[in-house]
Amino acid sequence: MRYHNITKDDMLNGDGLRVVLWTAGCIHGCKGCHNPVTWDPNGGLSFDEAAKKEIFDELDKDYISGITFSGGDPLHMYNREQVKELAQEIKVKYPNKTIWLYTGYLWEEMKDFELVKNLDVVVDGKFELDKKDEQLHWKGSSNQRVIDVKKTLKSGQIVLHSM
């Protein structure tokens, strides 16, 4: 897996203060994407032990609510396995921290991925410029959904995350 940045004390990509891992690689190519530099799966830096330590150092802080995987797309085929492993490790080490993931894939396309069981919230769907709305909370366009993963998996129906 490759990544572009690790953001600390982020308040825009999920509940509370978060650490955000911006992965490299995206096949969606959404018109108006705010982060097209992350599309190239060979861009950025190799995710290594130093990057992992940087994330864990942030998650060690009591005031950090959790991690958000964004990009690029954390579900790009080059990212899935390491994102799954990292999410599993975070869930074990920090059971009270939440894990959010932003993806251009729809829930229906990803719901059976093994990594989903370690997520708390998924923001799904491609960014659509004609549906952009800066008043939306945690998403860029009105077609995207902020999904409560645990409740959705339990009920079998999509349950939206409440603000």
Query: What is the rounded CA–CA span in Å between residue 85 and residue 69?
Result: 13
pLDDT at 67: 98
* Phi, psi for 83 (deg, rounded to 5): -65, -40
The mean pLDDT value for 17-33 works out to 96
For the record, the structure tokens of 73 come out as 């797309």
The residue segments making up the domain with residue 77 are: 2-155
- Per-residue pLDDT band for 44 (boundaries 50, 70, 90) equals very high
Looking at the domain assignment, is residue 84 inside a domain? yes
Looking at the domain assignment, is residue 111 inside a domain? yes
Over the stretch 121-149, which tens digit does the pLDDT of each residue have? 999 999 999 999 999 999 999 999 999 99
Query: What is the rounded CA–CA span in Å between residue 55 and residue 71?
Result: 15
Looking at the domain assignment, is residue 46 inside a domain? yes
Looking at the domain assignment, is residue 162 inside a domain? no
Query: What is the rounded CA–CA span in Å between residue 84 and residue 18?
Result: 18
Looking at the domain assignment, is residue 160 inside a domain? no
Contacts (Cβ under 8 Å, ≥6 apart) of 66: 14, 15, 16, 18, 19, 59, 90, 94, 97, 98, 99, 100, 120
Domain containing residue 112: CATH number: 3.20.20.70
Secondary structure tally for the chain: helices H, strands E: 4, 7
Looking at the domain assignment, is residue 161 inside a domain? no
Over the stretch 101-110, which tens digit does the pLDDT of each residue have? 999 999 999 9
Element (H, E) at 23: strand 17-23
**What is the percent of the chain with per-residue pLDDT over 70, rounded to a whole number?**
100
pLDDT at 121: 98
Looking at the domain assignment, is residue 49 inside a domain? yes
Looking at the domain assignment, is residue 23 inside a domain? yes
Residue 163: is its pLDDT beyond 80? Answer: no
For the record, the structure tokens of 141 come out as 């366009």
Cα–Cα distances in angstroms (integers) from residue 98 to residues 18, 50, 77, in the given order: 9, 22, 23
Residue 34: is its pLDDT beyond 90? Answer: no
Over the stretch 51-99, which tens digit does the pLDDT of each residue have? 999 999 999 999 999 999 999 999 999 999 999 999 999 999 999 999 9
Q: Please, where are the H alpha helices in the chain?
A: 49-59, 80-93, 107-110, 149-155
Q: How many domains does the chain have?
A: 1
Distance of CA 102 to the CA centre of its chain: 4
Q: What is the pTM of this model?
A: 0.97
Residue 161: is its pLDDT beyond 80? Answer: yes
- Average pLDDT, whole number, for the chain? 96
